[in-house]
């Protein structure tokens, strides 16, 4: 009986360990994945994921999430291995009701895992890939609502010093001497909140993801048109420069 009890405990611990591994990835490990921005990548498989697979996954997760609250914002990063199988799901931003509730995360992982993903090839070889998904309840995100040109452009609260404070230079990029600018399109609402963000030009080696995460933590003075705050989209260059 004692041996049986011990076996059950070991199985439970192993399951918990696998669960934790699938929820989070070490930052240095992320650089092994080719981060494909859904909208701007010209890779055929990335486009297929964006146009065919991602909308279905987002719809299924939104249906599941609606039973908790009607208004929420969830951002996840889906990591796919060389064979087109789900490797990890990283929860980039979660609504408050998910705090301390790992069961919801596991359910979301299961929803992603049930879909057939994509096997991305780069330069003729199978490659690890990563994609961002945004699931928003209550007010669906529509980029056409965000003006490109306004009388007063949004500005970062605290200036670029705030961006530099949030930015973490990937160790892998440092190791290989990777430098450059990552250009991030940012969608800022009337209150100065970052509603969505996407990399439109990157340098790889984990820098694209690091830039995206740094920008998503910012707060802005909202853009203005005719003296009133408006939804605006701007492009922010994020510099990676070795000292």
List the CATH number of the domain containing 198: 3.30.2420.10
Centroid of chain to Cα 190: 22
Length of the chain: 243
Domain membership of residue 127 (yes or no) is: yes
186 shares its domain with 112: no
Task: Give the range of the structural domain holding residue 122, as residue numbers without chain letter.
Answer: 24-137
* Beta bridge pairs of residue 238: 182
- Residue ending a domain, choose from 110, 137, 164: 137
115 shares its domain with 202: no
Domain membership of residue 43 (yes or no) is: yes
48 shares its domain with 88: yes
Q: Which residues of the chain, if any, have pLDDT below 70?
A: 1-28, 36-40, 139-141
CA distance 23 to 106: 8
Domain total of the chain: 2
pLDDT in the model for residue 149:
92
89 shares its domain with 162: no
Tokens 């889906």 label which residue?
78
| Nearest of 162, 229, 209 to residue 33 by alpha carbon | 209
- Residue ending a domain, choose from 91, 119, 137: 137
pLDDT in the model for residue 164:
94
- Residue ending a domain, choose from 89, 114, 137: 137
CB 182 within 8 A of CB 156: no
219 shares its domain with 198: yes
Domain membership of residue 18 (yes or no) is: no
Domain membership of residue 11 (yes or no) is: no
CA distance 59 to 65: 10
Q: Which two tokens stand for residue 128?
A: 């690890």
CB 46 within 8 A of CB 63: no
203 shares its domain with 110: no
CB 166 within 8 A of CB 218: yes
SS3 content of the chain, % helix, strand, coil (to 5): 35, 30, 35
66 shares its domain with 90: yes
| Nearest of 27, 9, 5 to residue 17 by alpha carbon | 9
Element (H, E) at 155: strand 155-156
Tokens 């498989």 label which residue?
45
133 shares its domain with 29: yes
Distances 122 to 42, 82, 238 between C-alpha atoms, Å: 11, 11, 25
In the DSSP assignment, the letter for residue 68 is: T
67 shares its domain with 120: yes
For residues 38-63, b (16+ Cβ closer than 10 Å) or e, as one string? bebbebebbbebbeebbeebbebbee
pLDDT in the model for residue 27:
58
147 shares its domain with 189: yes
223 shares its domain with 149: yes
Domain membership of residue 12 (yes or no) is: no
198 shares its domain with 172: yes
Domain membership of residue 6 (yes or no) is: no
Q: Considering the entire predicted model, what is its pTM?
A: 0.65
Distances 150 to 37, 158, 190 between C-alpha atoms, Å: 26, 21, 12
β-pair type (155-156, 220-221): antiparallel
pLDDT digits (tens, 9 = 90+) for 122-169: 888 898 999 989 898 876 667 889 999 999 999 999 999 999 999 999
Domain membership of residue 199 (yes or no) is: yes
Domain membership of residue 177 (yes or no) is: yes
Please enumerate in sequence order all residues whose Cβ is within 8 A of that of 224, keeping only pairs 6 or more positions apart, or say none.
150, 151, 152, 230
């Amino acid at each position: 009986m004692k041996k049986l009890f011990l076996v059950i405990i070991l199985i439970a611990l192993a399951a918990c360990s696998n669960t934790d591994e699938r929820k989070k990835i070490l930052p240095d490990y992320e650089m092994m994945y080719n981060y494909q921005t859904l909208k701007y990548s010209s890779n055929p498989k990335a486009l297929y994921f964006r146009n065919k697979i991602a909308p279905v996954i987002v719809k299924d997760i939104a249906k599941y999430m609606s039973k908790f609250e009607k208004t929420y914002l969830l951002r996840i990063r889906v990591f796919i291995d060389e064979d087109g199988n789900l490797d990890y799901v990283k929860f980039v931003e979660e609504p408050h009701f998910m705090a301390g509730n790992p069961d919801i995360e596991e359910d979301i992982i299961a929803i992603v895992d049930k879909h057939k993903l994509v096997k991305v090839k780069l330069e003729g070889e199978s490659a690890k890939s990563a994609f961002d998904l945004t699931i928003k309840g209550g007010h669906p995100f529509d980029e056409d609502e965000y003006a490109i040109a306004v009388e007063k452009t949004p500005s970062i609260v605290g200036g670029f010093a705030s961006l530099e404070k949030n930015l973490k230079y990937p160790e892998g990029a440092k190791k290989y001497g990777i430098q450059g600018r990552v250009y991030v399109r940012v969608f800022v609402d009337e209150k100065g909140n970052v509603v969505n963000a996407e990399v439109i030009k990157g340098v790889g080696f984990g820098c694209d993801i690091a830039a995206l995460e740094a920008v998503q933590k910012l707060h802005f003075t909202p853009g203005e048109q005719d003296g009133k705050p408006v939804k605006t989209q701007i492009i922010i260059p994020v510099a990676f420069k070795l000292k």
